[in-house]
Each structure stands twice: as C-alpha cells, then as structure tokens.
Chains A and B, each alone.
Chain A
Amino acid sequence: MSAAAVASSGTPRGERLYWALLVLPCVFLGLFYVVPVINVLVMSVTVPRLGLSNYADLVANPAVRRVLWTTVRIGVLTTAITLLLGYIVAYALVHTSARQRQTLLAIVVASFWISVLIRAFAWVAILQSAGLVNSALMGLGLIDSPLQLVRNEVGVMIGMVHYMLPYAILPLYANMSGIDRSLVPAARALGATPAQAFRWVFLPMSLPGLIGAGIIVLIFSLGFYITPAILGGGKTIMVAEYISVQISETLRWGLAAMLATTLLASVLLLVFWLSRFMDVEAALRK
C-alpha cells in the first residue's frame, strides 16, 4: 500500500499524525507570536502606569499626530501610485505574447530577491544631489541645481513604490488573466470605443484585483520601516521608525506599545472593512 493510501485511509494513527503536524506550528506561533503581541497590547495600557494615558497621546501629542499623519499620507499615496503603475504592468503582462510575458514576469519576480536594505541604499545613490538622476538632468541642461529627491517624502515614496510594485502586479496579473479575452472585442463589436470598452468592461472586472492589491500594498506601506528610515534620512518619519526610536532610544515603551497596537488595530479594521467589497470577486466568478 502506498503512503498516500495510508494517509487518506483515515486510520486513527494517520489522523493522529495529521493533528500532530497541525499542532506543532500552532504552538510555535502561539508562543512566539500571539503571546508577545498580547504582551504589547497589555503594555500599552500598563506602562508607565495603568490607564489610557498612552492613548491620550494620539490626540494630545503633536509629534505623535504628525508621525501618524505622515504615515497615512505616505501610505495612501504610495498605494495609489503603486496601483496605477502596477495596473499598467499587469495589463501589459496579460496582453503581450507568451514569450515576452515570461521575460517580464521573471523581471518582476527577480526584484523579490534583492534585499530591501540594498535597494534602499541603491536609491540613495541614484537620487542624491550628486547621484545618477541629478547629474544626468544637469548634464542635459534641464535643471541648474540638483533636485531634492532623497531625505524627504519624495525619496521615501520612490523607494516604497519600487519595493511594493511586485506585490501589486502579481495579484492584479492573476485577476486579469481570469478575465475572458473575448469580452473587450465583444464590447467593441457592439459599438464601444476602446476607451468605453475599458471603462465599462475591463476596469469593473479588474476591480477585485485592484482591491486585493490595494489592501496588501496599504498594509505593507503603513508598517514600512527600513525604506523610510534610510530614504527619509531622519526627516520624514513614519510610525514604524518612530516606534523603534521610542523602544531603543527614548525608552518610552508604553508609547511604542500603544502605537504598535494602534497600527495593528487599524490594519485589522481596514482588512475587515475592505473584505466586504471582496464580495465583488465572488459575484464575478462564473
């Protein structure tokens, strides 16, 4: 009897093995993930003293408010730009020849392999005052003095969009490959211009992909640490970097725990809220 047959036969021994395999990762996750997270939650209302004083800082502390606003602004803008660019790439991927698609997909996936740290430093080198972009533009006589492309929000967003693109492209590509290729020609044959066919047929059908990709990118963007820390150059501070400073430098652990809890809660709420739109996907499934 083959191994597969033993496993699927549902003998008590096979079932025990099945549960054992399931329990191990659960215990691991519980010990090293759930417990620390609960710890953080508790810390946010107990350190330095019992109560909601840390949460009062969300409103009362201008520095905290500024960091949160920066985080939301950069997160939303990054998501919007990433979705727009990712949509174009995914659209091209779906509509190009099989051969070109392979090459393009390989390029998209390859960027997963490069460390986020290396990419951030590479962007600093490219974007700084004496970097590739500025010297090229000045060499061409297009600008007289270097543009400020790094150590500000522009730099942070360039780095983040670059990092997030594959996370947007792949779900969008998966969604778009599922759209029947005859629908846009059908719309054209029925009298729609290319723009109308896109707006009335392709775009609404790719909406589930856009929402899915948007959730992923926004969640990642809100908690982004390394890229904003390096490309923001200490001037543009997002919440993850701020938490890190509170933990390791100013030692205000309660404040850090409160911000971490707030971030986690916001993300969960966001997922919950957006997942209601994901019914769209079920509705479109044939």
Chain B
Amino acid sequence: MKDSLILAGIEKRYGDAVALQATDLEIKAGEFVTLLGPSGSGKTTILMSIAGFVPPSAGRILLDGQDVTGLPPERRNFGVVFQGYALFPHLTVNDNVGFPLRARGIRGADAQRKIDAVLDMAQLRAFARRLPRQLSGGQQQRVALARALVFEPELLLLDEPLSALDRALRKDFQAEFKAIHRQVGTTFIYVTHDQEEALTMSDRIVILDRGRILQSAPPSELYERPATEFVARFLGKSNFLRGRITRVADGMADLQCPALTSRVSVGRQDALAIGANAVAALRPEKVKLQRSEAPADGCSATGQVADITYLGSVIDVTLALADGTTLAATIPAGALALSEGETLVASWAPDAAILVEPDVERGA
C-alpha cells in the first residue's frame, strides 16, 4: 500500500530502563492515528523514533516498504509540529513557512507560490511579514502547522500541539485539524495525553501505558469495548465490577460480585475458567436507575443514593452498594426526581458490562 508506515518490533532502552517495549504498529496512508497515553507511556518515544530523533534500540521502521530506520531526520521528508511550536524567532511568518522549501533548494516564485497557498489554508496571509512573537498562541500554532505542511510531506507528526492553548481554542483546533487532514490527505500521527482530543479527531487511537501498546482501535470501538481496565479508565469513566466467574456460555459469562451478580460480555478474553477472578467495565451512562423491582435478567444492584452531581443535560449519581463499594450512573436530567439517601435499583443490559484485563500492579 502507498506510504503505509510500519513499525516492526521497535524498542527503546536507556541502560536498564525500558522506554518502549518491542512494539508493532502499522499505519495506513491517509490515516489520522492518535497515540494516547499518560506521560512516560512511550508515545513521544514512538513519535521521535518515527521523526528520526530517537534511534530505536531494536526493530525497524518501514515507509512504503523502504527501511528508514537509519535515515537522519532531514532525509525522511516528514512534517513535524513540535510541542511549543519551535518557530524560528528571527524569521518572519513567511520565512518560517518557507524554511523547509529553502532546505530543499526550492526558491523564488516557485517557493512563494507554495508558501502563499499554505498561508491561505491556515488563514495567515495577513500576518506573513510578522515575527512569531507578534502573533497570538493560536496564530503561532497555525504557522507551525503551515510550516510542516508546505513541502507536502508524506507524514505529519504532531507532538501535543495543543497543550499550550486554552480550552476554547483547543476545541476550535480539533475541528480545524480534522478539516485540514481531510483537505490534504496526508497521514497524521498525533501524540496527546488528552482523551477528548483523541476521541474527536482520530480514525484510530493507540493507547499506551508504561512503554507498551494496550489497544489500538477506532474511537467508538475503544470506548465501547475496552480491552483492559486501564483503557476503560483512561478513556471516559467506568465502573469496575470485581468478582468470580460462575458460568461461561456463548460469549457471555456470569460474574458474581459481593454486592451483585451480572451477566457480562466476555469481550476479547478467550480463556476463562470457572471460579477465576475477573473484572468487568460498566460505563455509567449504561446504568439505568429505577424505584421498582429489578428486571428478571439479573443485571442489577440495589443501593442508596450517596451523591448527586448536576451537569446540565445529565446527572451523575453515585450509589452506595451493600458491600461498601459504589456504582456510578449517568442519567438524563429530569428523568427521575432524586434525593440523597433513598434506595434505588440500578440495572443494565447483559452486554453492557465487558470483561477487561485487570491492571498489573504498578511499581512493585
């Protein structure tokens, strides 16, 4: 396939410390892939390996079937948007954007035409003669993006490009990045620790933690069917039902917890033993609350309302269960008049709870 990027077993160690465990990842041409994870998860290490700044300790990077592992950054023809933009303070917007062309020996009218085109796309034409310090944060961000796209790179790498902007501006840029991605058709590889950015923009999200990929899937699949406890917690909110497996049949299992028993969807986990300890993730918005009896399928729990948080369109309710654990539910505002302390029945569809791989103990 044209321009597909393949990471084959790339790994990064610093002495004994492993920044990135052997990782395989394939990115299709034109895809918008987000590497999402907390700091120290290895997402920036992957990006900087692709860019050519961090030589992997092992493994290969292939672009379009060609091994680029040993190439210096300037020979890779990838656009990079750095955290903090890294604009050249002594050059005007026009010259900043023209820099990659100058480095490629493209000069004169030819270069200016390309610069003007990309400045138009980024709505920066009016600021061409300004220096970076005379621009707002959002405008600087646009210059960085224009500069990384002006030479029509095969790949655009973005390292937390929105982390310096305020919330409202970040939202605008999410839409803008998506639009530009659609317009130029270049592969985008985007690194962030912000789950909202990842969910709104990406074709696919790769979730990392402690130097390894936990799951790689489109946003909706990642949200609906998280593979591990970490993924379920990192992307959105989740309840975790902890108990023992009592029955397995047809992709479903029965999970017996101290305060409740639920049917759960087995999800990705194939080998399940009766009596084994297991964890299931249950999104709060899948939990329904009522005053009446529990439904017959048995996915329910009874508890007292411990906390009510009004969020406008929805209400977050925390139920205290009999065993001392809590269950969070998000229900439409106005659906039910609630008061703290009252006893409610929570219920959910049998396939709403999904078995996930439990977290490995951190540290040790």
Contacts and interface: CB of A to CB of B under 8 A. Distances in A.
Interface of A: 180, 182-183, 185-193, 196, 200-201, 204-205, 283-286
Given A185-B73, A190-B80, 17 more contacts: A182-B82, A186-B88, A188-B52, A189-B53, A189-B73, A189-B80, A189-B157, A190-B147, A190-B148, A190-B151, A191-B104, A192-B103, A193-B74, A196-B103, A201-B88, A205-B89, A286-B89
Q: In this complex, which of B53, B86, B100, B157 has the most chain A Cβ atoms within 10 angstroms of its Cβ?
A: B86
Interface in B63-86: 72-74, 77-80, 82-84, 86
Contacts of B89: 180, 205, 284, 286
Contacts of A189: 51-53, 73-74, 78-80, 82, 157
B164 to A, nearest CB: 13
B86 A180 contact: yes
B133 interface: yes
A228 B147 CA distance: 53
16 contacts: A180-B89, A182-B83, A185-B73, A185-B82, A186-B80, A188-B52, A189-B51, A189-B73, A190-B99, A190-B147, A191-B74, A191-B77, A191-B104, A191-B151, A200-B102, A286-B89
A180 B89 CA distance: 9
B90 interface: yes
Contacts of B52: 188-189
Given A191-B77, A286-B133, A186 B86 contact: yes
Contacts of B151: 190-191
Nearest to A207: B90
Interface in B101-154: 102-104, 131-133, 147-148, 151
A185 B86 contact: yes
Contact of A182 (B84, B148, B157): B84
Nearest to B102: A200
A284 B104 contact: no
B80 A283 contact: no
Contacts of B88: 183, 186-187, 201
Interface of B: 51-53, 72-74, 77-80, 82-84, 86, 88-90, 99-100, 102-104, 131-133, 147-148, 151, 157
B77 A204 contact: no
Contacts of A182: 82-84, 86
A188 B102 contact: no
A166 to B, nearest CB: 27
Q: In this complex, which of A182, A191, A283, A285 has the most chain B Cβ atoms within 10 angstroms of its Cβ?
A: A191
Contacts of A285: 133
Contacts of B133: 285-286
Contact of A192 (B74, B80, B131, B147): B74
Contacts of A204: 90
Contacts of B90: 201, 204-205, 283-284
Nearest to B100: A190
B99 A200 contact: yes
B86 A191 contact: no
Contacts of B82: 182, 185-186, 189
A201 B72 CA distance: 18
Per CB-CB distance, the 8 closest pairs between chain A and chain B, nearest first, are A186-B86, A191-B103, A189-B80, A190-B100, A182-B86, A192-B103, A188-B73, A191-B100
Contacts of A192: 74, 99, 103
A157 B53 CA distance: 42
Contacts of B131: 283
Nearest to A181: B86
A206 B73 CA distance: 23
Contacts of A188: 52-53, 72-74
A201 B74 CA distance: 15
A182 B144 CA distance: 13
B115 to A, nearest CB: 13
A190 B79 CA distance: 6
Contacts of B83: 182
A201 B103 CA distance: 12
A204 B91 CA distance: 10
